[in-house]
Chain A
């Protein structure tokens, strides 16, 4: 009994003797786990690589709900935070933004910032930076301009206003047109104008009846003339027959016509040669006459061979 109790007391004493060591091991394991978690979370890298700073000039019309701590995005991804919004003495506002150093290559001189709402028309405002493709940014003084996103409600309101402006004159015109049509109908009913007279006055119908009766008389008188026209047409028919016969004769003569034309053509072909010959003969005759005139026996004198140039007197200043 005593021995059993002794064994139980000795076991508990052994456990108490190594308790401090076990606690120390546990603390060390906890510290190691904490350090690993910190490294894994990248807190150290954040501490070691400070954010880059960008100044965003805000629009003069207002900041559009942008506040300190607002999100900054680029290409739809989180890129930084608005640290401060400042107002300078000239009245311009600008926001100081801390950006993740990773986005540095995407921000260039032609980058722009747009102030957007998270849910288009509602929600927190954030700054959306556009990707730049121009020259690299001078990060010692990095500035981009911001503009507010167009409010869709404004656009819808303007569209409604435009529709309103267009429809009102149309309605006014339609009202005028209806009034004019009403007036015209009243005038016609009152017998004013040509159409009104036709509807209300039966004189025109009587005149039409008289005209038709006159036409009937004319047709009756034309009946004898029609007979004469018939005889004239008969004579014309005979004439056409004669013409047809004449054409037939001409057709018969046409083969001879071609031979006549051929002969004429051949004669004409000889004409240029004949003309040249005649010209040459005339020229020979002229030379002969000049020579004859030069004969001393006919009272002429010898001509000098001074060329054929025109005399100097022919030059008329």
Chain B
């Protein structure tokens, strides 16, 4: 009797487990047809970005954009165009990125879709900054600077960097304050952005503190695979060391930044980059 009861209980337990596994295994989604090619191109592009193979990623995102235009799918045109511009910027072609953003904006405009306006504006501002058009970079990034989402927070960084190069300390303090308003626990990257803006503010007044901040920023950027940000932080640290009277250290930091930049230009694919990208 007890054995029968235990046997029945085991069967019921097995069935219950099966039901739980199947029910909690994921929700059944009704996929739109014809999206596999777009999804595959986007995923392949993402994988290539993780491996820092920007030319491969560019090819995949171009294919994704082509498919999205074929589908006349505004949301996906925006995503593919945005990703394409981001990898072009990462690959060291800000002029191409700028052109891509303009093209994507035109594609979305004729479809009356403005959902990607902030993301595209962020990339445009970053491209302007990379091209040395600081006034345009500040003007583009400033309206999107906010504490509410990662796009707004990153726009604060771009605007702050451009303001520093323009010597506009008011705008730099303004965006720095916005970043400080983020209420939830900041991620390491957000922390690095905050510290970088703070270091820029303190560069003229407290060079030693700026040096420490910049070094911490460089460490965080290195940890999360943002090598361009790391190189920028190393240069900032070199400037701070120079102002603090530590010439040898400044030269050493400058050399490190140069070497990093050179390695980046040589386009050596680096493995083991964080998947946070």
Interface residues of A (CB under 8 A from B): 279-280, 283, 286, 291, 294-297, 302, 307-317
Task: Return chain B residues, CB-CB under 8 Å to A312.
Answer: 119, 122, 149-151, 153-154
**A316 pairs with B161, CB closer than 8 A:** no
From DSSP, what is the main secondary structure of chain B's interface residues?
helix
**A297 pairs with B21, CB closer than 8 A:** yes
Check A309/B90 contact, CB under 8 A, given A295-B24, A315-B154, A317-B157.
Answer: no
Chain A proximity of B69: nearest CB distance (Å): 16
Interface string of B40-51 (1 = CB under 8 A from A): 101100100100
Chain A proximity of B52: nearest CB distance (Å): 11
B109 within 8 A of A: no
Interface window among B78-86, B173-181, B241-249: B78-86
Residue of A nearest to B150 (CB): A312
Interface window among B3-11, B123-131, B200-208, B209-217: B123-131
Task: Return chain B residues, CB-CB under 8 Å to A297.
Answer: 20-21, 24-25
Chain B proximity of A197: nearest CB distance (Å): 69
Residues of chain B at interface, number, CB under 8 A: 43
Partner of B43, one of A283, A296, A310, A311: A283
Number of A-B contacts (CB under 8 A): 82
Task: Return chain A residues, CB-CB under 8 Å to B137.
Answer: 317
Query: In the docked arrangement, what's the CA distance between A312 and B87, Å?
Result: 12
Task: Return chain A residues, CB-CB under 8 Å to B83.
Answer: 308-310
Task: Return chain A residues, CB-CB under 8 Å to B86.
Answer: 310, 314-315
Query: In the docked arrangement, what's the CA distance between A263 and B106, Å?
Result: 51
**B82 pairs with A313, CB closer than 8 A:** no
Chain B, 26-72, CB within 8 A of any chain A CB: 26, 36, 39-40, 42-43, 46, 49
Between-chain CB contacts (< 8 Å), 10 pairs: A291-B25, A295-B21, A295-B24, A295-B26, A302-B26, A308-B79, A309-B79, A311-B276, A312-B122, A317-B130
Interface string of B217-243 (1 = CB under 8 A from A): 000000010101100000000000000
Query: In the docked arrangement, what's the CA distance between A297 and B154, Å?
Result: 36
Other than the given A295-B26, A310-B86, A314-B90, 8 more pairs (CB < 8 A) read A297-B24, A310-B87, A312-B149, A314-B277, A315-B86, A315-B158, A317-B137, A317-B157
Task: Return chain B residues, CB-CB under 8 Å to A280.
Answer: 36, 40
5 closest cross-chain pairs (CB), A and B: A312-B150, A308-B42, A312-B154, A317-B126, A309-B79
Query: In the docked arrangement, what's the CA distance between A280 and B36, Å?
Result: 9
B107 within 8 A of A: no
**A316 pairs with B226, CB closer than 8 A:** yes
Task: Return chain A residues, CB-CB under 8 Å to B24.
Answer: 295-297
Task: Return chain B residues, CB-CB under 8 Å to A309.
Answer: 79, 82-83, 119
**B79 pairs with A315, CB closer than 8 A:** no
Chain B, 145-177, CB within 8 A of any chain A CB: 149-151, 153-154, 157-158, 161
